[in-house]
Amino acid sequence: MTTADSSEKKRRFRVTRRGFLIGLGATGAGLALGVTLGRKPFYRFMAGNLATGEGAPGGLGADPTAWFEILPDNTITVMVPKVEMGQGAHTAIGQIAAEELDVDWEMVNVMQASNKNGPEDSFGTGGSTSIPGSYEPARRAAATLRMMILTEAASKMGVAVDQLQTNSGNVELIADPSNSMTYGEVVDGVAEWAEYEGEISLKPQSEFKFIGKSIPRVDLEAKIRGEAVYGYDVRTDNMLYGAVVNPPTFEGKMISADTSRAEERPGVVKVVVDIDKNFAGVVAQTRQQAQVAANSIDIVWDEGKLWSQEELDAMMDTSDGAGTVIQLEGDATRAIGDSPTLTADYSTPFAVHAHLEAQAAMVSVEGDKATVFVSTQNMGLATSTVAEETGLDEENVTVTPTYVGGGFGRKLGTGAAPQAAILSQAVGLPVHVGWTRAQDMRDGYFRPPTRSSMSAKLENGRIVAVNHNHSSGEVAFPFFPTFLQAIFGTDFGSWRGAFNIYSKIEHRQLATHLAPFPIKTGWWRSLGLLANVFANESFMDEMAHAAGADPLQFRLDHLGDDKTGERAKAVLRKAANEIGYGSELPEGHAFGIAVSPDVDTWVAMVAEVSVDDAGVITVHRVVQAIDPGYVVNPDGAEAQAQGNIVWGLSSTLIEEMLVENGRVVAGNFDKYPLITLDRMPDMQIHFIESDGVPRGMGEPPIGPVAAAVANGVFNATGARVRQIPMTPERVLAAMS
């Protein structure tokens, strides 16, 4: 039970946001969904943020009429603007939003918001921001709504607000709880709501009913019954299927296209070619008919330069020293001088996202309006690209994200939606476009490769100086206009996780170079984190061994004594204790350790590994200790950690995207295999909740994976592998 204004401990906010009113339906059907028009695409939102100095990206609007719908039968719907791609956002954000509303969980429905209803979210779903970004806005929206309901109930019941309390979706008289109304009865028939101007207070964490609990995922039963609808599944009356021809090479440019063969294929409704847009596609009765016909369009291509892997590798060269210094403590260059104690170069390759649901969308263009259902992490970009391709106003493009069959950053870009829009506009009927695996593998953007050239000076068993010369392809820049690139200076995505965290090292320098790849690179789970921590934490181990020190103690000795340093030490000690670091292991097994921060979540990992005679690495056990500040849904957070470890191991051991003749070699999993169940270690995840503020969990646990395995391989074999994936060939080469 919660009274209108009770606990002294509660935090107080004044609702300052103006103008959230008040999209009520003319039917008086209760508190209906707010309608928000004209969503800004991501980069405009970022630009606005930079200009005004407003809050961090990932934050959401706190307008209660956009977040909630309450119907007269007392069903309560939370509109979640973040998409559900398996990370549990619908459940966790639902928990957060329902917390301050004083309702029972069984009364709460969670629904995906579109670009036309629900809270404003121009950021998209990514960057491990969904939970930290909604933690406060959603609770404030709910608390505000509760006060609006209390105020309205007071009016309907003819009493003062302070004589009322809420209780599980009811408003009741404090003096006589049997005298009560449901929220649904309170909102029923109310045609207009005034903006609530009073104070609201938020519960202390000790009183949370939903947040902090492992509430089962709201989306799982539909998924387990096969009823959940993803972008690839969207169906409607009179729909047709589209297929597109993507350029055969990175620089492929269409010169001419003969559509006569394609037009004769069975089932073909229309062949659409736009040479200027480099677009060729087919609409047909079935998907296979469309694909076969698309393959029958006789296109003459200018293939452009046929880039080779070697040419791309050469672009990573940092020897000209022309990087941008982004971390500078002391003077590492002078401290190391011409006599480094240690140098090492680390490298990581291109990688693809390989989500199992390929890019897919259904678009219906009718007159000046478009309706879009798409598997996307970014409805803002889907809106603007569909508007651009069709010439429609963004206000007339309605985008509803579906369930997403794996996003991992790739679905922050646009894929099938603008293509389906072009085709739908051409035939005047709804068209579904679902990419083939080969298109999904080859025609997206990729995780860029990285190189890290490290050098260090050690004296008396301690590190005096570390210099890190870093090189990577673009990650964030392709998604921003040029003027913002100039403001940012360097690509924050490429150097994510590259900062040296050991504050007791006097001289530290990090310089970053951007390699000018002719192929698209971009968001990939954790951006540069996995690669950069691989370099940093492998080198930390190399320095520990050079100093003759234990790698765990060596790290503890160089971490600072401030709050950040203590959080790092705590996760290191926890992971080490839980796995029994230092205990005796079977012959040939060894521990490897690594630690990293990301979005202010600290993660330490210890892996027990061995290597067989063929150079095959086996990871037997993994323990991670994670400090995300506060955990909203422990089971969901654990699942994210497990998934990150599996992702990290797949990259560490297997994944490498290669380029040949201007195109990606692999068109399917035969040439780009993923890790499988038979290579899974035992895993334990431990959480440390250090300060009650939730931070991201979607990416941070991937940080230490490659480094911990590499360090374990060294401890087991004496061989230092400085390149991922650590294939048997590379391991054997390092061993010999």
CB of 148 to another protein, least distance (A): 35
358 binds another protein (CB under 8 A): yes
634 binds another protein (CB under 8 A): no
580 binds another protein (CB under 8 A): no
Q: In angstroms, rounded to a whole number, what is the distance separating the alpha carbons of residues 133 and 129?
A: 5
Stretch that binds another protein, among 146-154, 187-195, 349-357, 562-570 (CB under 8 A): 349-357
- Residue of 29, 639, 658, 735 interacting with another protein (CB under 8 A): 639
Burial (CB count <10 Å: 0-12, 13-18, 19+), residue 389: buried
405 binds another protein (CB under 8 A): yes
- Residue of 25, 676, 691, 692 interacting with another protein (CB under 8 A): 676
Dihedral angle, C-alpha 132, 135, 140, 145, nearest 10 °: 130
229 binds another protein (CB under 8 A): yes
Backbone torsions φ then ψ of 399, nearest 5 degrees = -115, 120
Q: In angstroms, rounded to a whole number, what is the distance separating the alpha carbons of residues 475 and 493?
A: 5
Tokens 């990290």 map to which residue? Answer: 648
647 binds another protein (CB under 8 A): yes
Task: Look up residue 631 and give its amino acid.
Answer: V
CB of 362 to another protein, least distance (A): 12
**Comparison of 296 and 469: residue with beta carbon closer to another protein:** 296
Binding mask 83-102 for another protein (x = CB under 8 A): --xxxx--------------
Q: In angstroms, rounded to a whole number, what is the distance separating the alpha carbons of residues 416 and 381?
A: 12
658 binds another protein (CB under 8 A): no
Number of residues located near another protein, criterion CB under 8 A: 68
Sites for another protein among residues 508-537 (CB under 8 A): none
CB of 641 to another protein, least distance (A): 10
Q: Are 585 and 612 within 8 A, CB to CB?
A: no
- Residue of 72, 248, 330, 518 interacting with another protein (CB under 8 A): 248
Q: Kindly calculate the radius of gyration of the chain based on its CA atoms and give it in whole angstroms.
A: 27
Three-state DSSP class for residue 505: coil
Q: In angstroms, rounded to a whole number, what is the distance separating the alpha carbons of residues 358 and 109?
A: 28
- Residue of 82, 116, 139, 287 interacting with another protein (CB under 8 A): 287
Q: Are 356 and 86 within 8 A, CB to CB?
A: no
**Comparison of 164 and 705: residue with beta carbon closer to another protein:** 705
Q: In angstroms, rounded to a whole number, what is the distance separating the alpha carbons of residues 397 and 659?
A: 37
228 binds another protein (CB under 8 A): yes
Residues 6+ apart with CB under 8 A from 501: 536, 559, 568, 595, 596, 597
Q: Are 508 and 564 within 8 A, CB to CB?
A: no
**Comparison of 512 and 640: residue with beta carbon closer to another protein:** 640
CB of 226 to another protein, least distance (A): 2
CA separation (Å) from 585 to 544, 605, 707? Answer: 21, 17, 20
In the sheet that holds 180-182, the strands lie side by side as 2-3, 164-167, 170-173, 180-182
Q: In angstroms, rounded to a whole number, what is the distance separating the alpha carbons of residues 650 and 675?
A: 5
- Residue of 295, 459, 563, 612 interacting with another protein (CB under 8 A): 295
- Residue of 93, 645, 657, 719 interacting with another protein (CB under 8 A): 645
**Comparison of 167 and 642: residue with beta carbon closer to another protein:** 642
Stretch that binds another protein, among 23-31, 350-358, 451-459, 610-618 (CB under 8 A): 350-358
Question: What percent of the chain is helix, strand and coil (3-state, nearest 5)?
Answer: 30, 25, 45
226 binds another protein (CB under 8 A): yes
**Comparison of 428 and 673: residue with beta carbon closer to another protein:** 673
Residue 676: both structure tokens together: 């499988």
Binding mask 181-220 for another protein (x = CB under 8 A): -----------------------------------xx-xx
CB of 216 to another protein, least distance (A): 6
Give DSSP secondary structure letters for 585-620: --TT-EEEEEEEEETTEEEEEEEEEEE-TT--EEEE
409 binds another protein (CB under 8 A): no
237 binds another protein (CB under 8 A): no
CA separation (Å) from 375 to 355, 361, 385, 525, 734? Answer: 11, 6, 14, 17, 43
CB of 436 to another protein, least distance (A): 5
Q: In angstroms, rounded to a whole number, what is the distance separating the alpha carbons of residues 316 and 318?
A: 6
Q: Are 46 and 97 within 8 A, CB to CB?
A: no
556 binds another protein (CB under 8 A): no
Tokens 């209760």 map to which residue? Answer: 30
Stretch that binds another protein, among 120-128, 418-426, 434-442, 448-456 (CB under 8 A): 434-442
CB of 406 to another protein, least distance (A): 5
- Residue of 403, 554, 630, 714 interacting with another protein (CB under 8 A): 403
Residues 6+ apart with CB under 8 A from 258: 297, 298, 299
616 binds another protein (CB under 8 A): no
CB of 308 to another protein, least distance (A): 15
**Comparison of 88 and 694: residue with beta carbon closer to another protein:** 88
Of 495, 463, 521, 475, the closest CA to residue 318 belongs to 495
- Residue of 357, 627, 655, 699 interacting with another protein (CB under 8 A): 357
Sites for another protein among residues 438-497 (CB under 8 A): 438
- Residue of 45, 67, 230, 554 interacting with another protein (CB under 8 A): 230
- Residue of 680, 688, 732, 735 interacting with another protein (CB under 8 A): 680
Backbone dihedral region of 434: left (phi > 0), alpha (psi from -120 to 50 degrees) or beta? Answer: beta
- Residue of 26, 175, 486, 677 interacting with another protein (CB under 8 A): 677
**Comparison of 457 and 663: residue with beta carbon closer to another protein:** 663
- The total of other beta-carbon atoms located within 10 Å of residue 457's CB is 21
Q: Are 37 and 66 within 8 A, CB to CB?
A: no
Task: Look up residue 124 and give its amino acid.
Answer: G
Footprint of another protein (CB under 8 A)? 85-88, 216-217, 219-221, 223-230, 232-233, 235, 241, 248, 265-267, 285-289, 291-292, 295-296, 354-358, 403-408, 434, 436-438, 635, 639, 642-647, 650, 667-670, 674, 676-678, 680, 683
